[in-house]
Amino acid sequence: MTVEERILELLIGPQHPASGHMRLVAKIDGDIVVELRPNIGYVHRSVEKLAEVKKYLHIIPLVERPSLADTTANNLAYVMALEKLLGIEAPPRAQYLRTLLAEINRIHSHLYGLGIHGVMIGSSTAYMWCFGDREPFIEIAQELTGARLTYSYIIPGGVRRDLPQGFEDRVEKVLRYLENRMKDYFDIYFNNPVTRARLEGVGVLTKEDAIKLGVTGPNLRASGVPYDVRKIEPYAAYPELDFEVVTREEGDALARVFVRIGEIQESMKIIRQVLKNIPEGPIFHEKYVKMVPPKLREYMKETGEVKFPGTFANLRVPAGEAISRVEGGRGEVVFYLISDGKSLSPYRMRMVTPSFRNVILFEHLTKGHRVADIPAIYGSLDYFPPEADR
């Protein structure tokens, strides 16, 4: 039998279970992967093109949709680019509130990814635990913003709401709950011999390849590269906060899991610092507060919630171009905006998401592994197909 006769083509997806709205085209020799190519595009959002006909403020909910479990990163990166064009900065209290939501979101995004990974390798317990323990973080995010996942909380010049009364105590209760749960996770799942057998030494990404391929986020840091936008190019309240960039040296599927666990722990540390050190003051830029009629301004002062007059939606943005980047749960998020100074919509908007940059790893990491290792590698990447399709 020739080599060509031995090679079979295996199509995985594009149905949702385990493939996540994408198709993987594998060539296999027995159960050994010879080649695997991801075929994306099944859930294309057309966000960049739609932005050209949407008003600047109306684009905020649009950019959140592709990366559903990690919406704050896209919201923040877009608004930061817009603020550069407008020549404004959010006041210090608003910067702390932005950071607070970003870290709450990072935790429940990581739990989402870890839960999906668990069920991919056959652990329904990990799936149910992660999704159950993610819920308290979604609830405190909802209390802060008014929404469970797509917050649209960060706006040009600030944020939409201040801290609810007694919020700090409720957050501390949630943090302590997850800290106590972590031991159970290690006992039942992370240190489970079956989990380690499925992940240890599987899908190894070397430090050199991670850099060469342009990989980002926890997948990069699990290969020993301490690159995190929050440290490299600090934004929001991060310059004033103390936290570590979590790295591992192994570069395998298990290392990618442990980096996310470490980042959850660091995020809890950041949240406590934010709530302890948040400065007093306004949550919205004074330039736009002046646009608000006196009665509405009084309502905002009493309730701590930002309400806009209809004219705010018709933001006139000076001509120019701006770029911004933030560290989302899955990695670096980049936004590039061009304004012609005439339209109420961007002339061009470009968003580069971490899943789009990490999709190359499907082909790079699976070669030579067994078919059963594909979901183990896939889940370790925390890849989200709609985020890549944008």
Q: Render 47-114 in DSSP notation, one character per residue.
A: HHHHHTTS-TTTHHHHHHGGGGGGHHHHHHHHHHHHHHHHT----HHHHHHHHHHHHHHHHHHHHHHH
- Residues comprising the chain, all counted: 390
Q: At what angle do helices 124-145 and 92-120 cross, to 10 degrees?
A: 160
Given CATH 3.40.50.10420, say whether it is the number of domain 3-389. Answer: no
User: CA 260 to CA 70: how far, in whole Å?
Assistant: 14
Q: Is 18 left (phi over 0), alpha (psi -120 to 50) or beta?
A: left
Pair of tokens at residue 388: 């890549």
Biggest CA-to-CA distance, the chain: 84
**What's this model's pTM, rounded to 2 decimal places?**
0.93
Tell me 334's DSSP state.
Answer: E
Q: How far is CA 357 from CA 9, 69, 257, 289, 388, in A?
A: 26, 17, 19, 39, 8
Structural contact between residues 134 and 105, judged by C-beta atoms closer than 8 angstroms: no
What residue has token string 């493939």? 19
Q: pLDDT tens, position by position, for the chain (390 residues)?
A: 555 678 999 888 787 655 567 889 999 999 999 999 998 888 888 999 999 999 999 999 999 999 888 999 999 999 999 999 999 999 999 999 999 999 999 999 999 999 999 999 999 999 999 999 999 999 999 999 999 999 999 999 999 999 999 999 999 999 999 999 999 999 999 999 999 999 999 999 999 999 999 999 999 999 999 999 999 999 999 999 999 999 999 999 999 999 999 999 999 999 999 999 999 998 887 776 666 667 666 766 666 666 665 556 788 899 999 999 999 999 999 999 999 999 999 999 999 999 999 999 999 999 999 999 999 999 999 999 889 887
Cα torsion for 131, 132, 135, 137, to the nearest 10°? -90
If one counts every other C-beta atom within 10 angstroms of the C-beta of residue 197, the result is 13
Domain boundaries, the chain: 3-389
If one counts every other C-beta atom within 10 angstroms of the C-beta of residue 181, the result is 12
